[in-house]
A and B are shown apart, each in its own frame.
Chain A
Amino acid sequence: MTDTNKSNLAIGLDVGTSRLVAARKTEQGFQYGTQLNAFLTVPFSRVTENALKKEGVPHTVEDSAIWIHGTDSQRFADLLNSEIRRPMRGGFLNSGEPDSIKVMSEIVKLVTGGGGKAGENVCFTVAAPPLGAEPSLTWHEATMKQVLADLGFQSRAINEGLAVVYSELVDCNFTGIGISCGGGLCNVCFAYLSVPMLSFSVPKAGDFIDASAAAVSGERANRIRILKEQAFNINGRQANQLLQVIDVYYDDMIRTLVAALIEGFHNAKNLPQLPRAIPLVLSGGTAAPKGFRERFEQILKESHFPIAVSEVRLAADPLTATAKGALMAALSEM
């Protein structure tokens, strides 16, 4: 089998609280598929089902209800003025959502383009344990493996922050700090020559901003998220009160992340001696708004971070960097 053919059999899958992103290697470069990690149930009616079929909206019918999966669930939630449901929460499968596994399976199918072909390998991302906690992610990881196996994929997991390093820090020999700022968590990984030396997560990320801003403003969390992703600029000078609220919670989130970085690195044992300053790369949908990198860098500089950082950079494409890194990991094992 040629290298190109082998490459076609690898998928990098970013399993985020907010989105699932799948990456594949093509002859032209990398190809991505994205779906919102969400769903909506509406009462069954033949008219609704026909309308969904006609518009090609991914859905399943079960128990007198229609289940709309992925990105389209958002549109219908807006139309119906209701909140979408989430199969994951805080970086892990949502234990309060009884149908999370079934829904995850449907969304994985959507984002990967169907079930696995023979020999197809998926490298999927998992969150690191929260700072200071013992690793106990077995259930989430094992369940995701089972979901993928049921779809015909061989799979292995990779730490989300490490995937960011693999995607963005090639020029530094995969040495540096990768941070994925997602919906439920910020995942941090310090890697040295591709080896993860320190990983942890911080349970304050995009969802925290959405929920907090929604509680203060009376808006729906969904709308806050869309606003934040589409037109927000973190610069401290906002045009209206809602944006000002979002700005305040962004600031809070970044300060919490920097404080966690200081604590994590301060308490870390057996870190390698670094001959030079290392880069830090930010990724994920929550890091995408303009001004995020600058605000983060400013707060980091004001702090007493124990590691010399050569630069703070934003991933080339913050929304796909993690999936690309997972794909790199999958390809590197073929």
Chain B
Amino acid sequence: MGSARKAGLLAATVVDWRARRIEDPLRRLRYLRVATVDLRPSTALRRPRWHFVALAGLVLTAAAYAVSHAVASRGGTPVPVRRPPAVQRAERNLASAERFPDVWLVEQNAEREEYSNGLQIDCRLAVSNRPRSYAVFDATGPERGPIEWRKDPAGIVFHTTESLQVPFEPLQNSTLQHITGGLVEYVRDKRAYHFLVDRFGRVHRIVREGDAANHAGHSVWADDKWLYLNLNDSFFGVSFEAQTHHGEGNTPITPAQARAGALLVEMLRARYRLPARNCVTHAQVSVNPDNMQIGYHTDWAANFPFSEVGLPDNYARPLPGLYLCGFVYDRSYVALTGPRILAAIELSEERLEEAAARRHIEAARYREYLQEEYRKNIKALKRETPQGDA
């Protein structure tokens, strides 16, 4: 059986299992019509990275399918649930103990840095931005407001540039170099990322490590303890010169990019003790406060090679935007992400429902409450720092 077919079966099993837990026939049908969107042709389009794509008037068509309609509301005491194998596997994969690599700077000059793991960084176009400073919130009680201000980075957000791609072959060498050159200058002007990994696997330093970069916009992530809002300051932005392949498929980056990405991640994790679980993709963290949906940006919505860059499958992690801030998802997000994030959505929805049950309120009401708290927290950030205004 092909891997895509296997993945499809896995996703179908999860969807089937979850739908059976929804008693109301109409809600069940709504849920299934959202969750099975990748089985049917979809015309829904999302906006990729804002930096490089003309706003051609393409809009989402599926907002009516917000998950708040799709999920059965349940109050009362939490009921232990038997998770399907796909969800159990995802949880097991994420439970391994954290180990940090050991990497140090070997040599450095104005143009170049070399590290003990073989990483080389081209620093010729490095640029400054505003110094890093961000607030963290208590992930176990996101309704309590910002509780601490920090300057050390907390993780990495992976991006794709969504820029022009020509075939990666010797005959295109000069074109490839020309495109990369223009791209590096463009992202430098925008202070768009901390690092750019071009198609030859060369790592370019863009914004200096101690500064914030404008890479994540409205975004949400959390680990066991902390909730992070608008990650420009709190997370490094590492972008690959590539275009996202939506749905299940191969990774769009070259082997050289994957190798360089692994070395860069290793160095950053070693230097800043970044937890592996905080190294995630833009599609996992991006949110849209206007319609309260996750996945406003969908770069690396699927096919990020977590394993090849030395990370666990973080696609399986529940999405804090859903369970800590009350955002919802729609059918086009599911269509773009594929089964790996679908399992994460299931976990997120479960977490939200369990939290609601612990508070003896309906899931839908608890979601509204979280949304309100999110808005309050964003307002508080805006008052304090520029990062609040993503």
Same complex origin of A and B: yes
Question: Hey, which chain B residues are within 8 Å of A334, CB to CB?
Answer: 64
Task: Confirm or deny: B58 has a beta carbon within 8 angstroms of a beta carbon on chain A.
Answer: no
A interface: dominant SS: loop
> What are 15 inter-chain pairs, A to B, with CB distance below 8 A?
A170-B28, A173-B16, A174-B32, A192-B39, A193-B12, A193-B15, A193-B32, A193-B35, A193-B39, A194-B32, A195-B36, A195-B39, A272-B8, A331-B26, A333-B33
A164-184 vs B, CB cutoff 8 Å, 1 = contact: the mask equals 001000100111000000000
Q: Are B32 and A272 in contact (CB under 8 A)?
A: no
Question: Hey, which chain B residues are within 8 Å of A170, CB to CB?
Answer: 25, 28-29
> Nearest chain-B residue to A167 (Cβ)?
B25
Q: Are B29 and A328 in contact (CB under 8 A)?
A: yes
Question: Hey, which chain A residues are within 8 Å of B36, CB to CB?
Answer: 192-195
Q: Are B28 and A193 in contact (CB under 8 A)?
A: no
- A170-228 at interface with B (beta carbon < 8 Å): 170, 173-175, 192-195
- Give which listed residue, B5, B9, B19, B29, contacts A332 with CB less than 8 A: B29
Q: Are A193 and B26 in contact (CB under 8 A)?
A: no
A246-274 vs B, CB cutoff 8 Å, 1 = contact: the mask equals 00000000000000000000000000110
- Smallest distance from the beta carbon of B143 to chain A beta carbons, Å? 27
Task: Give the residue among A170, A175, A193, A273 with the most B Cβ atoms within 10 A.
Answer: A193
| Chain A contact residues, CB within 8 Å of chain B | 166, 170, 173-175, 192-195, 272-273, 275, 328-329, 331-334
Q: Contacts A192-B39, A273-B9: A332 and B16 contacting too (C-beta < 8 A)?
A: no
> Nearest chain-A residue to B1 (Cβ)?
A273
Q: Are B33 and A194 in contact (CB under 8 A)?
A: yes
Q: Are A328 and B16 in contact (CB under 8 A)?
A: no
Q: Are A328 and B12 in contact (CB under 8 A)?
A: no
> Nearest chain-A residue to B18 (Cβ)?
A173
Q: Are A328 and B64 in contact (CB under 8 A)?
A: no
Question: Hey, which chain B residues are within 8 Å of A175, CB to CB?
Answer: 16
- Smallest distance from the beta carbon of B345 to chain A beta carbons, Å? 16
CA distance A173 to B35 in the complex (A): 12
Q: Are B20 and A328 in contact (CB under 8 A)?
A: no
Task: Confirm or deny: B82 has a beta carbon within 8 angstroms of a beta carbon on chain A.
Answer: no
Question: Hey, which chain B residues are within 8 Å of A192, CB to CB?
Answer: 12, 36, 39
Task: Give the residue among A166, A173, A272 with the most B Cβ atoms within 10 A.
Answer: A173
CA distance A192 to B19 in the complex (A): 13
- Smallest distance from the beta carbon of B300 to chain A beta carbons, Å? 27
- Smallest distance from the beta carbon of B10 to chain A beta carbons, Å? 12
Question: Hey, which chain B residues are within 8 Å of A193, CB to CB?
Answer: 12, 15-16, 19, 32, 35-36, 39
Q: Contacts A193-B12, A193-B19, A273-B9: A173 and B28 contacting too (C-beta < 8 A)?
A: yes
Task: Confirm or deny: B40 has a beta carbon within 8 angstroms of a beta carbon on chain A.
Answer: yes
Q: Are A166 and B39 in contact (CB under 8 A)?
A: no
B211-245 vs A, CB cutoff 8 Å, 1 = contact: the mask equals 00000000000000000000000000000000000
Report, nearest first, the 5 A-B pairs whose CB atoms are least far apart.
Answer: A194-B32, A170-B25, A332-B29, A195-B39, A332-B30
Question: Hey, which chain B residues are within 8 Å of A173, CB to CB?
Answer: 16, 19-20, 28, 32
- Smallest distance from the beta carbon of A254 to chain B beta carbons, Å? 29
Q: Are A194 and B29 in contact (CB under 8 A)?
A: yes
> Nearest chain-B residue to A272 (Cβ)?
B12
CA distance A272 to B32 in the complex (A): 16
Question: Hey, which chain B residues are within 8 Å of A333, CB to CB?
Answer: 33, 64-65
Q: Are B19 and A328 in contact (CB under 8 A)?
A: no
- Smallest distance from the beta carbon of A264 to chain B beta carbons, Å? 19
Question: Hey, which chain A residues are within 8 Å of B32, CB to CB?
Answer: 173-174, 193-195
Question: Hey, which chain B residues are within 8 Å of A328, CB to CB?
Answer: 25-26, 29
Known contacts A328-B25, A333-B33; can you find 20 more A-B pairs with CB under 8 A?
A170-B28, A170-B29, A173-B16, A173-B19, A173-B28, A192-B12, A192-B36, A193-B12, A193-B16, A194-B32, A194-B36, A195-B32, A195-B36, A195-B39, A195-B40, A272-B8, A328-B29, A332-B30, A332-B33, A333-B65
- Smallest distance from the beta carbon of B367 to chain A beta carbons, Å? 16
- B1-59 at interface with A (beta carbon < 8 Å): 5, 8-9, 12-13, 15-16, 19-20, 25-26, 28-30, 32-33, 35-36, 39-40
Q: Are A166 and B29 in contact (CB under 8 A)?
A: yes
CA distance A2 to B16 in the complex (A): 29
Task: Give the residue among A192, A195, A334 with the most B Cβ atoms within 10 A.
Answer: A195
Question: Hey, which chain A residues are within 8 Å of B26, CB to CB?
Answer: 328, 331-332
CA distance A200 to B12 in the complex (A): 24
CA distance A333 to B69 in the complex (A): 10
CA distance A329 to B33 in the complex (A): 10
Q: Are B16 and A174 in contact (CB under 8 A)?
A: no
Task: Give the residue among A170, A275, A332 with the most B Cβ atoms within 10 A.
Answer: A332
Question: Hey, which chain A residues are within 8 Å of B19, CB to CB?
Answer: 173, 193
> Nearest chain-B residue to A333 (Cβ)?
B64
CA distance A192 to B30 in the complex (A): 14
CA distance A242 to B193 in the complex (A): 83
Question: Hey, which chain A residues are within 8 Å of B64, CB to CB?
Answer: 333-334
CA distance A333 to B27 in the complex (A): 10
- Smallest distance from the beta carbon of B64 to chain A beta carbons, Å? 6
- Smallest distance from the beta carbon of B381 to chain A beta carbons, Å? 33
CA distance A272 to B15 in the complex (A): 14
B60-74 vs A, CB cutoff 8 Å, 1 = contact: the mask equals 000011000000000
- Smallest distance from the beta carbon of A286 to chain B beta carbons, Å? 26
